[in-house]
């Protein structure tokens, strides 16, 4: 049974956590609401982290609303700089670094952790990832012009940082073991156009190569690649992917696999505990983007006030913020054998993925072709 006299406790203070708080307040002004977060709790747009350098923004300038103001606006009791350590599901208590907190319902919005590249060498610990404001502050502090910035990973985040760094005047090299950029997102001709566009602003690619080691060398870093090539770097940025944070949920006995497993009501295997955001797994898939969070937060807020609504994700385009050649993609379901059709123009490409009977299953647009996004999304909505 749900006890509405006890608070809703949300763990995390990223986009997922604050969006649940905002959506709940639209429906219920009085329920006690607490947020437990191990960072300061400021509200910021994480997607800006890979687009902020050329715009000259510091970490402080990326804060949209300071934590105290957010807490006041949403009538939240904020436990900042507090880590949730374990969940006692029988007693409905979260044990934190600052004591125990009882909950009526709990929302896990704990996000994901950057994957680490296994590297040899005395500077392996100096490799940075940028996944929150503090990481971004450190990244800016360590940036130097003496040698290129080497990015590990040519996916969405690696390409966005490459564009931003190059636009800010830095030499950039990208290393990726795969044969193309945006490997999981777009077909080869679309990837090739983005790669050429980044090369035009000075980015150099080392595809089908892995980084093996990184050493300190006279004030710089020196990488060794799998083809034995050496690269000098002022900084090494890892952008090889994220791993949902599932430890808290798993240790509490909740079902976890790729992420914290939830059903269409966004409930975990415990009916009083919900999950969303980068840490959640919806019907076998992790959706580490902003749009799913918006849909999921509305569903959780409705569930918290007693409406039995289920989440339905519409086709959600992934936008790659590479101003030199912007990309919008809706990849086809991974279970299907893709059949792509490409239409190229001077400064863009439209790639459509079609089924054997000609139905649209997904698409990728690069450069000028992104203007056709709305039409293709509508067509996709009808055909899926
Ligand atoms: C550089 C970059 C660019 C991106 N660009 C785009 C884009 O263009 N479009 C798009 O759709 N998506 C983009 N994304 C993804 C998008 O930003 C994320 O999907 C979204 O911000 C995730 O929000 P979240 O709240 O789930 O996780 P997070 O923002 O990671 O929040 C997790 C929170 O949980 C807290 N926490 C974790 N464990 C505990 C604990 N045990 N106790 C207390 N607190 C805890 C953390 O401190 C943090 O506050 C980008 C991501 C990055 C990194």
Q: In the chain, what are the domain boundaries?
A: 8-113+242-304, 116-238, 327-383
Predicted pLDDT of residue 338: 77
What is the rounded average pLDDT of the residues 31-52? Answer: 97
Which residue did the predictor score with more confidence, 271 or 335?
A: 271
Burial of 113 (0-12, 13-18, 19+ CB in 10 A): middle
Asked if residue 380 has pLDDT above 80, the reply is yes
| CATH classification number, 116-238, choose in 3.50.50.60, 3.40.50.2300, 3.30.43.10, 3.10.580.10 | 3.50.50.60
Q: Is the CB of 319 under 6 A from ligand 1?
A: yes
The two beta strands, 204-207 and 220-225, are unpaired
Architecture of the domain defined by 8-113+242-304 = 3-Layer(bba) Sandwich (3.50)
Counting from 1 in the atom list of ligand 1, the atom nearest the Cα of 288 is 19
What is the rounded average pLDDT of the residues 319-324? Answer: 97
CB atoms within 10 A of CB 157: 25
Which residue did the predictor score with more confidence, 29 or 381?
A: 29
Asked if residue 250 has pLDDT above 80, the reply is yes
Asked if residue 8 has pLDDT above 90, the reply is yes
β-bridge partners, 236:
150
Residue pair 210/226 in contact (Cβ under 8 Å)? The answer is yes
Q: Is the CB of 376 under 6 A from ligand 1?
A: no
Q: What's the rounded Cα separation, in Å, for the pair 261 and 275?
A: 8
- Residue 315 — very low, low, confident or very high, per pLDDT cuts 50/70/90? confident
pLDDT tens readout for residues 277-293: 999 999 999 999 999 99
Q: What's the rounded Cα separation, in Å, for the pair 108 and 132?
A: 18
Asked if residue 335 has pLDDT above 90, the reply is no
Which residue did the predictor score with more confidence, 355 or 36?
A: 36
Residue pair 352/363 in contact (Cβ under 8 Å)? The answer is yes
Asked if residue 3 has pLDDT above 80, the reply is no
What is the rounded average pLDDT of the residues 184-203? Answer: 96
Structure tokens at 148: 């290129």
CA of 327 to the centre of ligand 1 (A): 21
Orientation of helix 188-200 relative to helix 156-167, angle to 10°: 20
- Residue identified by tokens 């980068």 is 278
Residue pair 223/209 in contact (Cβ under 8 Å)? The answer is no
pLDDT tens readout for residues 56-69: 999 999 999 999 99
- Residue 1 — very low, low, confident or very high, per pLDDT cuts 50/70/90? low
Predicted pLDDT of residue 346: 82
> Among residues of the chain, what percentage have pLDDT more than 70?
98
Predicted pLDDT of residue 2: 64
What is the rounded average pLDDT of the residues 28-34? Answer: 96
Protein residue whose Cα sits closest to atom 48 of ligand 1: 12
- Taking phi first (over 0 means left), then psi (-120 to 50 degrees means alpha), and beta for anything else, what does residue 119 get? beta
CA of 231 to the centre of ligand 1 (A): 31
Lowest mean pLDDT among 87-91, 114-118, 134-138, 206-210: 114-118
CA of 189 to the centre of ligand 1 (A): 30
Q: Is the CB of 321 under 6 A from ligand 1?
A: yes
β-bridge partners, 152:
175, 238
Predicted pLDDT of residue 181: 98
Predicted pLDDT of residue 340: 93
In which element (H, E) is residue 199 found?
helix 188-200
- Residue 5 — very low, low, confident or very high, per pLDDT cuts 50/70/90? confident
116-238 shares the fold of 8-113+242-304: yes
Predicted pLDDT of residue 383: 76
Which residue did the predictor score with more confidence, 184 or 55?
A: 55
Long-range contacts of 200-204 (CB under 8 A, 24+ apart): 200/324, 201/163, 201/166, 201/167, 201/324, 202/166, 202/171, 202/172, 203/162, 203/163, 203/166, 203/172, 203/173, 203/174, 204/148, 204/171, 204/172, 204/173, 204/174
Residue pair 288/278 in contact (Cβ under 8 Å)? The answer is yes
Protein residue whose Cα sits closest to atom 8 of ligand 1: 47
Asked if residue 46 has pLDDT above 70, the reply is yes
CA of 111 to the centre of ligand 1 (A): 5
Asked if residue 241 has pLDDT above 70, the reply is yes
**Pocket-testing residue among 41, 46, 99, 289, ligand 1, by greatest number of atoms within 8 A of Cβ:** 46
Q: What's the rounded Cα separation, in Å, for the pair 211 and 232?
A: 12
Which residue did the predictor score with more confidence, 10 or 380?
A: 10
Q: Smallest Cα–Cα separation from 296: which of 330, 349, 259, 324?
A: 259
What is the rounded average pLDDT of the residues 129-156? Answer: 94
Asked if residue 144 has pLDDT above 90, the reply is no
β-bridge partners, 232:
222
> Among residues of the chain, what percentage have pLDDT more than 90?
89
Query: CATH fold of 327-383, please?
Result: Enolase-like; domain 1 (3.30.390)
Residue pair 248/110 in contact (Cβ under 8 Å)? The answer is yes
Predicted pLDDT of residue 273: 98
Counting from 1 in the atom list of ligand 1, the atom nearest the Cα of 131 is 53
Q: Average per-residue pLDDT in the chain?
A: 95
């Amino acid at each position: 049974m749900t006890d509405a006299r006890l608070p809703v406790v949300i763990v995390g203070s990223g986009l997922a956590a604050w969006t649940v708080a905002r959506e709940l307040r639209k429906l219920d002004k009085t329920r006690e609401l607490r947020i437990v977060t191990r960072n300061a709790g400021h509200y910021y747009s994480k997607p800006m982290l890979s687009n902020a350098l050329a715009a000259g923004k510091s970490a402080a300038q990326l804060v949209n609303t300071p934590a105290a103001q957010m807490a006041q606006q949403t009538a939240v009791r904020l436990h900042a700089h507090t880590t949730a350590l374990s969940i006692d599901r029988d007693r409905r208590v979260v044990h934190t670094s600052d004591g125990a907190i009882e909950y009526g319902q709990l929302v896990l919005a704990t996000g994901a952790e950057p994957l680490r590249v296994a590297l040899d060498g005395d500077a392996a610990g100096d490799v940075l990832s940028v996944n929150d404001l503090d990481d971004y502050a450190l990244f800016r502090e360590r940036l130097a012009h003496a040698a290129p910035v080497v990015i590990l990973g040519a996916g969405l985040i690696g390409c966005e940082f490459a564009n931003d760094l190059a636009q800010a005047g830095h030499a950039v090299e990208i290393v990726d073991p795969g044969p193309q950029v945006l490997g999981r997102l777009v077909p080869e001709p679309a990837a090739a156009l983005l790669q050429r566009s980044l090369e035009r602003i000075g980015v150099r690619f080392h595809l089908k190569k892995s980084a093996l080691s990184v050493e300190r060398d006279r004030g710089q870093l020196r990488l060794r690649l799998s083809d034995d090539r050496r690269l000098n770097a002022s900084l090494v940025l890892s952008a090889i992917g994220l791993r949902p944070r599932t430890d808290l949920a798993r240790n509490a006995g909740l079902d976890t696999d790729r992420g914290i497993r939830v059903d269409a009501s966004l409930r975990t295997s415990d009916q009083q505990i919900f999950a969303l955001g980068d840490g959640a797994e919806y019907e076998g898939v992790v959706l580490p983007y902003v749009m799913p969070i918006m849909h999921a937060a509305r569903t959780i807020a409705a569930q918290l006030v007693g409406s039995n609504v289920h989440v339905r994700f519409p086709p959600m385009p992934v936008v790659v913020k590479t101003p030199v050649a912007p990309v919008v993609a809706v990849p086809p379901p991974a279970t299907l054998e893709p059949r792509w059709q490409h239409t190229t123009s001077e400064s863009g490409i439209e790639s459509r993925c079609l089924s054997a009977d000609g139905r649209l299953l997904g698409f990728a647009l690069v450069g000028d072709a992104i203007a056709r996004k709305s039409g293709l999304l509508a067509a996709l909505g009808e055909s899926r």
